Structure 1
Amino acid sequence: MNQKTEIIEFLIKDEINNINIINFIEDYPIYYIEKIDDSVIVKGTSDKNWIYISSKSEEELKIIKSRLDNNDKNFAAIEEWMLPILTNKNKIKWRLSTMKLILCNDTYIVKPKHNVSDLTINDAEFIYENSDYKDFISIQYIIDRITNGISSCIRYMDKPIAWAITQDDGAIGFLHVLPEYRKMGYARDVTIALIKKVRDKNKIPFVHIEEENEKSMRLATGLGFKKDKVVNWFEIE
């Protein structure tokens, strides 16, 4: 058994807490991975070189901090308590904070009311142009997620009018409905379809939502997602 497999097996013992890092390890090239007692640090590449950390100990996190070098700039799904240690003496270039919500396996989900299909790479540029997160994503990243992740969309005249895609850590994301098609239940249906596809792959459905995004938060909690904790993406200068 190699080191990567051993660490995944360790992380799965607390799967809900570690679902982000597990999915990232499984789906993307990892160039550094280390277990320090009960903590794990992972460096890997999707759209950027990302650092993922699993830890419950300040002392172990300080050791992890010592494993970082000047090239380690981008951090993913970092818990609030970790921030002061990891960003000490460093200026944060940008930061995105979200609430992580989990859908339990025994939560029943109804079927979509509308016809739902998959996205194709031909949709990538259109999705990017209609995204509210252009500062954090790229067309190439969207192509990667459509190709290697899971997607769902509702089309009208062959054009996607509502869609969702899993992120590089497996979270259900990219949820968007064109303004003229809102309040028709499309966001709910593409999310429901994506939940089913995630479950079909024996994965746990979860989302990251900015807490001020009341509409998305209502949608998620209405489907049965439960709040877990705040996590952060950020880049240091």
Structure 2
Amino acid sequence: MVSHVRTKRAYSPKCAMVSHHVRTKRAYSPKPHKYKVFEVDCYHRCFRTTVTAHPGVVRDWIFKMRRRRSYQLRRRELIVGLGVQWSAFSNNPAATLQLSVGRECLIFQLSRAHRAPRSLRRLLEDPEVTRVGVNNHRDVAMLESTKHGLCVGGVLDLARLARYEGICTSNHLSMEVLAEDILGMQGVKKAEDVGRSNWDAVTLSGDQVEYACLDASLSFLMAKALEAWQWTP
């Protein structure tokens, strides 16, 4: 699991976690049949994370995000952390898509969704939005290969940007290395067993939510620190 991370699960008092740094807490969710809410606390930064397979929830999340970030949109400075998870032994190219802006994160269960909303397609294709990730050369192709056929206007690889800026020079830059060098977050770990788990599951575990949330949320924080909106994917 991720060191220095505490996850509060929003709807279940019981959750099998691996790391003693992870805790769960039940919280109120107005529509638990449509979405579940988690709070992922990493280095005193709390990311409110919505997990859903319902297009309407995705549409509302994007609408609220655009409204809150209208200033950055007008200045073409909007950054969106983006990540994709898939199951190694599944025919689904991408099981989940995670997006992060500020302290808000969305995990969209693509393999469980009957459709993708137009607002999501516009966000992924918008040339004025800077989408970022780490070692994401496969993400675009995997999203296009899903049953939803999601087209992405480009995703900036923060590992490549960090090398260009001279911040990190290693040939094998991982999320853990970048988080330490750019954000000063020492000890962040992405558990391989979680990465290889069943991302097509109806209900994602707390470990999976934490893994997916940090994948997108740390990308957002690093891109903001690097002022990534000035670069072209």
Under a length normalisation based on structure 1, what TM-score does the superposition of the two structures give? Answer: 0.30
Under a length normalisation based on structure 2, what TM-score does the superposition of the two structures give? Answer: 0.30
Higher normalized strand content (fraction of residues): 1
